[in-house]
Structure 1
Amino acid sequence: MVEAGQIGVWWRTLKLREEVLGATGANDDTTASLFRVVYGKGAARPLYATASYYGKITHPTEQLTELLTGLAVRLGGGADRDLGRALVRLDQGMGGGKSHACIGAWHLATSPEDLADTDIGREVFARAREALGADLPEHLGHPHAVVLSGDNMTPAPATDPEFDGPWAYSLYERFLWRLFAGRDDRESLFEHYKPFFSSKADISEAIKAIGRPVLIIFDEILNYIGDGLEGRNNAELTAQDMAFLRALTEAVRDTPNTAMLVVMISSEKDPTTLQGDGETRRQDLEAYLQRNGETMAVNENADFTAILRRRLFEHSDQAALSHAVSAAVDAFSPVLAQGNWKSKVAGALSTRWTKRFAAEAERTFPFHPQLMDLAEGEWANLSGFQQVRSTIKIFSATVRALSERAEAGHWTPLLIGPGDIPLSDFETRKAVLTSGLISNSKTRSNYQSIAQNDVVDLSDRAGAARVLDSARTDAPWQATNPRAAERAATMIFLASIAGARGGSRRGASDPEVKAATMVPDAGYGYNDADAVIQALTDTDGSGLASLELFPGRGGQPPRYYLSTQQRLPMLVRAMRNTITEADRDQAIAQRATTRLRKGPFALARFLPAQPGRSHREVLAAAELEKARATRLVVLDPAMYTLGNGTQRPTMDAVRIFLGIGVDHVPTQWASSLVFLVFAARQRGLARKAAAEYLAYERVLDGPEVEDDGDLKSQAEQGRDQVLSRFDDYVERGFQHVLYLAQPDPTVERNVAQRNLDEGTLDGAKVWDVLAEAQKAFPRGKFTGRALVHNLRDSDYGRPLGEIRDAFWNTPRLGLLPGGEADLREAIYEAVRAGELRVVRAGDETVVVDDLTGINFNAPTYRLARPKPKPDPKPADPSDPRPGGGSGGGGETDSGEDAAGGQDQGEDEDASPVEQQLMFTVMKNFASDPDAADRLALIFRRLFDSLDRGVMSYLSLSLQAQLPPEQAQEIAHLAEELGIRATLRDL
């Protein structure tokens, strides 16, 4: 094993350039901008705005050197100027180095002597000498540069006097203002040539008026003549601008020491669709450029490595660099020559880098030859890939992120391979996804989710592959290859986003993936790499959700592809990673609320947790106290659980709220309050199911399924299955019933607990458990006899209202499933059976003919035992009647005589206890006004009897006609008493 600290490593040998570090890897500082070079000020002006720094970061590629040489000869070649290039069009695709070439041309014109002192400048002037047979003057005749930046210029009117003066309107006028910049007679020359926008001769004369060579650079010309002019909808301006451009292309060709560089991507390389007549204008200008100039490219794929090293790193000590390269080659070479690594990886790949590893590693350092082979051989050939620009963005972001890891003391690869592109770094991931490797925005969005969920997320802690690496603790090679799974998954990711590779191959081959995990450690063998890949392809849920495996055929190795088509598991996993603990617990609360059934309980509610409040405070603030109502309160498992050592906070809060303990909460109706609590051992299962359910819900709410009917259907089916399982876990978790108990008044009150094996949110099942514990009466079982059985001596003589309340506030009395109605029926049944009496003051028995006679609100009504039966009178011997001493007579045992008459003894004069009053009233007060007063007197007498409590029973049927306001008021009062009132319009 080779320790990184023992050799010259790239992050100590190569120094990153300032703009790479300052630009967080991959922003505009590593994307060349001609506009910022010409017009930028202060911090907005990049370092490469000076010719000397531009020369430091520019590799003198063959094509760039040829371009600048042709322009230099045209500008400063004197009589041999025609050996140079007058009009050059750069037409290569996005990111092909066009802006960098334009900046080089600008430096050539504005700072030729400074540029000549750089590598690229020396090459240019040397080539010019070869072409001319003589040296060019280093000043090139002091050229004047006119820069028109099409992507920073809106067609008329001009808005920035610094660039276009106070009068410039058309493109020609803007050109003139820039052409005459720095001259004292600028305004007069501008006004003189202003009318001649379409005259080739006058434009040429204006250029000659400068008196020195002129270089015209028009960058991104399509931005101006395409949608720019289309957006103005100004036919006159459009005609003038296009006429000027046609004339300019011809004037440049015919004007001595004048050159023009135009950036206009050809239609077959430009995916942009121009609006309206933009395409016609493109074709028009393209014809003139072809006729009057030539088309060039400035970079080739083979230049990438050299360009990258120049752009990303400062010039290094050559000896130190050579030592670092040699150390890396010496570290990897033995592994590549070892057993299966040699035969099944290097031999199976049989690429240039595996055959000539030492030479390729020296060429590509600090990047692994496998990565550069992918970039140069495949990425650069894709039409959408932005070649130099994209390569620089990806690689600059990569080296910055990995350098920061190295500085922090974390593991860093000795050579940066395809598996080492850090997708956990935001800038790197963005550079990869926006590089053009992915063809459309929808696919790009899908692969962004794949990177986040299957490889590694932006926190560098999650993602399927990253989790596998983090969970691995027993591998002997863990310290030297701690990101093995992530490296393998990243290689598969990079190979997948490019679509079809050579020969219609998709994804990465098994040897490619294993090679991406390689480290210079003999302890990490081929079999270890195989085990890493097996873990990634595992289908038990811990592997790559979006992985599609293509078995090898005809002796070919298997291939691995991250698919966006079979992406439901990937999307679900992506959404699952967005679920917070609060989201998950809220879902459990919502389902528990939805599933809760009150059953025989008068009320049932779910009590949610409240972050920041204690268990006791949440209960105290919930307003659970309610008179004469059985209440089932389901406690939120996010806060309240029992079992697994979690029960103390829950039990303490419940005890205090039920009135137990020195600091208890005062409560009157605690006995009729029942708590349902979650089992702690079930909470993990419920939370996992909640996260799964929410993930499906978010997938269904996301844009991925909006226009994909099949995917939406799959997601809905999956959601429904998960919801069923989720509901089951939620119900099954509520296994503990808590209530106030005191079976014997001689013992202290306590919180009793009963358990349900399966759990429930059905109040009926909870009630059955309470009934088994004799805390509640089973439904239909509370009879008159049961009532008498539960009454104690102290209950007789108590007001009916107190007896009623006792069934809700006295723990020894069972809860009534039907509430007050059950108690009224039981009393009525017991009274009718002669087991109880309802009495008023003075032990007067109240006649109870129906349920309405059980008036719990009458303060004088009480329960009493039945009167004892009177003992029979002893026989009088002197009484001549039968049964008397001497017999005779016809009186019966019942006290009636033979004729059926009442016994006329002392009962004859006894006063009745009550008399029943009955009368019917039908009065039309409109025809008999005095009757209203007399009837009012009758009702006042009835009210007086009712108010004094001497009326024990009232049965009344009333029909009255009166104004709506009074009718509604009386109906409302009647309904408050439980009397149903009917109103009908007349």
Structure 2
Amino acid sequence: MKQSGVTPWWKGLRIRPEILDASGSIADVQMSLFHAVYEKGDSRPEYADASYYGEITHPTGQLTDLLARIAIRLGGGPDHTKAPALLRLDQGMGGGKSHACIGAYHLAADPVKLAKTDVGKAVFQHAETILGRPLAKALDNPHVVVLPCDNMTPGATDLEYFGPARNLYERFLWRLFEADYSKYDAYRKHFSNLSKISEAIESIGRPVLIIVDEIMNYFGNGLDGVDDEALTAQDQAFMRALLDAVTKTPRTAMLAVMIASEKDSISLSAEGARRRLDLERLLDRNGKPVGVHENDDFAAILRRRIFAKPPTLEVIDATVREFQASMENSSWKSKVYDALHAPWTAKFADEVARTYPFHPQLMHMAEHEWANRAGFQKVRSTIKVFAATVFALQERGKSGSWVPYLIGPGDLPLSNTVVRESIIGSGLISDTKTQNNYRSLAQNDIVGIRDETGTARLLDVKREADGDALWQHANPRAAERAATAIFLTSIVSGRSQGRRGATDAEVKAATAVPDPAYMFADADVVIKEITDPETGLVGVEVTPGQKGQQSRYFLSTSQTLVMLQRAMRDTITDAERDAVIADFAERLTDTGPFDRKLFVRATSGQQSPLEVLATASIDDGRVSRLVVLDPALFTLRNGADRATRDAVQAAVGLGPEKLPVKWASSAVFAVANTQQRHAARRLATAYLAAERVLGVQETQDDEDMKSKAVNERNEAKRSLETTVRRAFQHVLFLAQPDDNATRAVDEVTFDDKSETALYGTTVWKALVEKGKAFDQGTFIERALLHNLRESDYGRPLEELRDAFWNTPRLPLLYGGQNDLRQALFDAVQIGLLRIVDGEGEEVAVTGVSEINLSSQRLRIGKPLPPTPTEDNPSTDSPEPTAMPGPSSASDAPGNTGHDDEQDNQPATPSEKQIAFSVTQSMLNNTGNSEALSQLFRQLYDVIDRGDVSFLQGNIQIVVSAQSADGLVERVRELGSPVNVRDM
């Protein structure tokens, strides 16, 4: 975080010693009236002292009013009637009932000491306001009778606390008369006599406060367990009489604790339920139900209970200024704080002053969402969670680690066992199974107990290690904070309008820090990280925003499809992943014009690429092969392709480790790109996981999940197919442009995403462009002659045929042997070639099928020159040959042996082959431009006159974008492939 003059809360506030001693765990947060009144010595809790109780108790409005009315009833003299005699606390568990009962006890047992505390001062001031006059602090020395029904067994004696008493009335008398046996014995028979009970109370001559705690613990299952009808009848009769007697006895007050039936989860028998109904009617008739705390009191209660002294105004104001500067940023304001629609955003300064050091966002959640949950133990649970939080964060601060200026909903450290268990056991989560599930989510999806693991935590750790984020030091736990905020909102079922989880604005607000380095866009990135289906939280469910609604994020404990897929991904080995890529590549390979496809798989052992190719049976005669190399072992680019290149070079008979091959020229290798292989591996894992999810029982038993799983599998399959196709970008082949060039491995790379080396047709087109292959229908007789060399004449047809599969300078034939046979036949028919036998005698050919390419006897020969006749002594007619003739007529196959002068003269050829290459830079070179223009004009004239019988070439030209389209259109009109790319 950026340096500022703000004193952090963990330095400015002092945590109470008892919290520090317990490492953040408040052992006595669940106060006990019984312990406060009856325990002795070391077992007596600190809050049994009125001064300490006053020190840790915030004088909330309801608590102050409750105790003030009891004070009036006890010490108001003739004005005691201005306060009700019977008050009932009916809040659920953890709502502050015991705390209020202990306050009432201290008010009556030690009123002078309590009056010196903040809560005591507030009580007496409020009582005097009601009375309209001063109230004596001693309250006329009241006497207190405490009946802790949660610590009493019906029908059993407890000599230490209640002497010989067995039923509730006898216990009341024993404590009323302070163990005076004679008075006790005088009244104990009158358990149902209203007047006798009232008489007993007045007989002690002092005001009396009766506190009956947890009535239903006694009257519910307690009486059921005794199985004593007489005792049960006596206790019920006494309670009816007591409730009436209290209201008729001056200077007597009674505080009864009985949770309202709709708030009480205790299971009762039919008789117990009947007794509760009877007591509720009596309490409703005679008493007044009162509360102890409003939800808005939480902040003040927490501050008083956790910290020894309140914060200074200077620290609060400085903190507010830091946050407000960031909150006014346009993006944060419009897209986050305005979108929250929360009251605390409009009065932020006042709310921070009320809730410090807790962020108003967190306190709003506790006061308006947690507190309204039926099972949540309100004050008690909130204190436990927040006390453990401030202790854990203070320890971080002391160790030099980052701590937020205000503790928000993302800052509760779930790595701390006390914090995590306080949240899980607070009552926000209803059942044990769900508690266990959320405990697992907290530890695995968010942050582990050692603060070193957990999906969200590891995202932050990786970001810190990479050092890519400029805001890292200002907000080093951003992902963990976002995930924790989602966790806290997810455990509260049925939020506003029944929606689940956190809104996008809530999560982003939970990650905010008062530092301009952390911008709104950074919060977007953090949320994308934790919701990424591959690397984010396993349990997160994302509901996209629609019709103006925000996206929502919910941590689900159910075995969702995402959870199953993530779990299945963990079971997939590298070998399984690579094997499925190989399967897809092999299946997707389409031979096209190639005679065969051959897939070379990586072996399960540790063989090198060269060792694998050496045993792959690649060398195959007289067939063109598209050889697909398994990406698990063979890839190109990214600086990690030396082994692949060396292996392919050896496989075509080159390099220091060349293999003994004969047909290397007709093997073309399809190779994957290294970077694209990474993407394919990721998708292959997802596909296998989707496949396995379909097989688990949870999926089979849930039709909706099964349907989604099928869709996920199908989508994963489509994505994997697309990526595998795209991965095969490269083609390697043996090349030798001309007789004088050195053999080498040439390469084609497909930059267009629609092209792949797995499609034979696509590969063939690329080879055509490279001059390595003929396109369909282009290997005609003129093309044949163009590719023949002088040494080819007189060769057996078998050798000529084989040359097109084993000689790199000869292009591959689209139709294979059929194309060669047809070209030979056509050349013979128009007199460009002759088919001769071993002795040079011409062999008549009347059909294509008569050209036996497997023959060792048949050969090709040049056509004989025309023989002069008397009618036509000249040799004006053109000689149909595409190649320069031999140096003398005697070299031609079929020569008759005439040695006249004319026959010994070299023949004048009718055509000549011209081969040239041009590489020129045309920028700022007018001389080159003019010379090249003249060359192409003359070439145009030659073609236009019909003087060109065959044309083969490869032109690469860089032209202006305006001229490119016209040139491309002209090339395509010729039926030739054309490759265009931006420069």
Same fold (TM over 0.5): yes
Q: 2:171 aligns with which of 144, 169, 174?
A: 174
Give how far 1:416 is off: 0.2
The code of the aligned residue for 1:495 comes to T
Residues 38-49 of structure 1 aligned to structure 2 (within 5 Å): 38-49=37-48
The CA deviation string for residues 776-798 of structure 1, in whole angstroms up to 9 with x for no partner, is xxxxxxxxxxxxxxxxxxxxxxx
The code of the aligned residue for 2:486 comes to I
Distance 1:259 1:574, change over 3 A: farther
Residues 626-641 of structure 1 aligned to structure 2 (within 5 Å): none
Contact 2:538/2:562, CA 8 A, preserved across alignment: yes
Q: Distance in 1 between matches of 2:352 and 2:705?
A: 50
Q: In structure 2, what is the equivalent of residue 288 of structure 1?
A: 282
Distance 1:458 1:348, change over 3 A: same
Structure 1 residue ranges, 4+ long, deviating more than 6 angstroms after superposition: 571-577, 711-714
Give how far 1:75 is off: 0.7
Q: In structure 2, what is the equivalent of residue 267 of structure 1?
A: 261
The CA deviation string for residues 874-926 of structure 1, in whole angstroms up to 9 with x for no partner, is xxxxxxxxxxxxxxxxxxxxxxxxxxxxxxxxxxxxxxxxxxxxxxxxxxxxx
Distance 1:119 1:366, change over 3 A: same
Contact 2:533/2:562, CA 8 A, preserved across alignment: no
Q: In structure 2, what is the equivalent of residue 909 of structure 1?
A: none
Task: Note if 1:481 corresponds to 2:478.
Answer: no
Task: Note if 1:424 corresponds to 2:379.
Answer: no
Contact 1:452/1:574, CA 8 A, preserved across alignment: no
The CA deviation string for residues 830-885 of structure 1, in whole angstroms up to 9 with x for no partner, is xxxxxxxxxxxxxxxxxxxxxxxxxxxxxxxxxxxxxxxxxxxxxxxxxxxxxxxx
Task: Note if 1:534 corresponds to 2:500.
Answer: no
Q: Distance in 2 between matches of 1:449 and 1:44?
A: 37
Contact 1:453/1:573, CA 8 A, preserved across alignment: no
TM-score after normalising by structure 2: 0.57
Q: In structure 2, what is the equivalent of residue 101 of structure 1?
A: 100
Q: 1:379 aligns with which of 363, 370, 376?
A: 370
Q: Distance in 1 between matches of 2:422 and 2:241?
A: 40
The code of the aligned residue for 2:153 comes to T
Contact 2:2/2:474, CA 8 A, preserved across alignment: no
Q: Distance in 2 between matches of 1:306 and 1:211?
A: 39
Task: Note if 1:2 corresponds to 2:27.
Answer: no
TM-score after normalising by structure 1: 0.57
Q: In structure 2, what is the equivalent of residue 933 of structure 1?
A: none
Q: Distance in 2 between matches of 1:711 and 1:43?
A: 62
Q: Distance in 2 between matches of 1:700 and 1:23?
A: 46
Give how far 1:569 is off: 5.4
Distance 1:709 1:139, change over 3 A: farther
Q: Distance in 1 between matches of 2:104 and 2:568?
A: 50
Distance 1:524 1:87, change over 3 A: same
Residues 136-155 of structure 1 aligned to structure 2 (within 5 Å): 136-155=135-154
Give how far 1:712 is off: 15
Q: In structure 1, what is the equivalent of residue 236 of structure 2?
A: 242
Contact 2:71/2:107, CA 8 A, preserved across alignment: yes
Contact 1:60/1:120, CA 8 A, preserved across alignment: yes
Q: In structure 2, what is the equivalent of residue 80 of structure 1?
A: 79
Distance 1:136 1:500, change over 3 A: same
Task: Report the 3-state secondary structure (helix = DSSP H, G, I; strand = E; otherwise coil) of the residue aligned with 1:457.
Answer: coil
Q: 1:251 aligns with which of 227, 245, 270?
A: 245
Q: 2:160 aligns with which of 159, 162, 178?
A: 162
The code of the aligned residue for 2:327 comes to L
Distance 1:496 1:411, change over 3 A: same
The code of the aligned residue for 1:261 comes to L
Q: 2:198 aligns with which of 172, 196, 204?
A: 204
Contact 2:147/2:212, CA 8 A, preserved across alignment: yes
Contact 1:8/1:323, CA 8 A, preserved across alignment: no
Distance 1:238 1:576, change over 3 A: farther
Give how far 1:193 is off: 1.4
Q: In structure 2, what is the equivalent of residue 92 of structure 1?
A: 91
Distance 1:709 1:172, change over 3 A: farther
Distance 1:517 1:67, change over 3 A: same
Give how far 1:352 is off: 2.0
Distance 1:50 1:575, change over 3 A: farther
Q: In structure 2, what is the equivalent of residue 60 of structure 1?
A: 59
Q: In structure 1, what is the equivalent of residue 914 of structure 2?
A: none
Contact 1:19/1:29, CA 8 A, preserved across alignment: no
Q: Distance in 2 between matches of 1:401 and 1:529?
A: 25
Q: Distance in 2 between matches of 1:467 and 1:36?
A: 46
Q: Distance in 2 between matches of 1:361 and 1:254?
A: 48
Q: 2:217 aligns with which of 213, 220, 223?
A: 223
Task: Report the 3-state secondary structure (helix = DSSP H, G, I; strand = E; otherwise coil) of the residue aligned with 1:30.
Answer: coil
- Alignment length (residue pairs): 592
The code of the aligned residue for 2:175 comes to R
The code of the aligned residue for 1:346 comes to Y
Tell me the percent identity: 54
Task: Report the 3-state secondary structure (helix = DSSP H, G, I; strand = E; otherwise coil) of the residue aligned with 2:405.
Answer: coil
Give how far 1:576 is off: 11
Give how far 1:90 is off: 0.6
Task: Note if 1:554 corresponds to 2:552.
Answer: no
Q: Distance in 2 between matches of 1:341 and 1:287?
A: 54
Q: Distance in 2 between matches of 1:254 and 1:232?
A: 32
The CA deviation string for residues 72-93 of structure 1, in whole angstroms up to 9 with x for no partner, is 1111111111112211111122
Task: Report the 3-state secondary structure (helix = DSSP H, G, I; strand = E; otherwise coil) of the residue aligned with 2:262.
Answer: coil
Task: Note if 1:509 corresponds to 2:503.
Answer: yes
Residues 589-628 of structure 1 aligned to structure 2 (within 5 Å): none
Q: Distance in 2 between matches of 1:456 and 1:711?
A: 33
Task: Note if 1:519 corresponds to 2:513.
Answer: yes
The code of the aligned residue for 1:171 comes to L
Distance 1:343 1:295, change over 3 A: same
Q: In structure 1, what is the equivalent of residue 11 of structure 2?
A: 12
Distance 1:709 1:225, change over 3 A: farther
Q: In structure 2, what is the equivalent of residue 118 of structure 1?
A: 117
Q: Distance in 1 between matches of 2:341 and 2:128?
A: 44
Distance 1:123 1:328, change over 3 A: same
Give how far 1:550 is off: 0.6
Task: Report the 3-state secondary structure (helix = DSSP H, G, I; strand = E; otherwise coil) of the residue aligned with 1:212.
Answer: coil
Q: Distance in 1 between matches of 2:54 and 2:383?
A: 17
Task: Report the 3-state secondary structure (helix = DSSP H, G, I; strand = E; otherwise coil) of the residue aligned with 1:216.
Answer: strand
RMSD of aligned residue pairs (Cα, Å): 3.1
Q: Distance in 2 between matches of 1:216 and 1:155?
A: 19
The code of the aligned residue for 1:368 comes to H
Contact 1:2/1:331, CA 8 A, preserved across alignment: no
Q: Which runs of 5+ in 1 are unaligned?
A: 585-684, 722-986
521-530 vs 347-356, which moves further: 347-356
Give how far 1:67 is off: 0.7
Give how far 1:39 is off: 2.1
Give how far 1:710 is off: 4.7
Give how far 1:484 is off: 0.7
The CA deviation string for residues 901-959 of structure 1, in whole angstroms up to 9 with x for no partner, is xxxxxxxxxxxxxxxxxxxxxxxxxxxxxxxxxxxxxxxxxxxxxxxxxxxxxxxxxxx
Distance 1:709 1:86, change over 3 A: farther
Give how far 1:709 is off: 5.9
Q: Distance in 2 between matches of 1:356 and 1:417?
A: 17
Contact 1:31/1:393, CA 8 A, preserved across alignment: no
Q: In structure 2, what is the equivalent of residue 51 of structure 1?
A: 50
Q: In structure 1, what is the equivalent of residue 328 of structure 2?
A: 337
Q: Distance in 1 between matches of 2:567 and 2:428?
A: 22
Task: Report the 3-state secondary structure (helix = DSSP H, G, I; strand = E; otherwise coil) of the residue aligned with 1:148.
Answer: strand
The code of the aligned residue for 1:66 comes to D
The code of the aligned residue for 1:506 comes to R
Distance 1:239 1:414, change over 3 A: same
The code of the aligned residue for 2:397 comes to A
Task: Report the 3-state secondary structure (helix = DSSP H, G, I; strand = E; otherwise coil) of the residue aligned with 1:519.
Answer: coil
Distance 1:456 1:357, change over 3 A: same
Contact 1:55/1:121, CA 8 A, preserved across alignment: yes
Contact 2:97/2:257, CA 8 A, preserved across alignment: yes
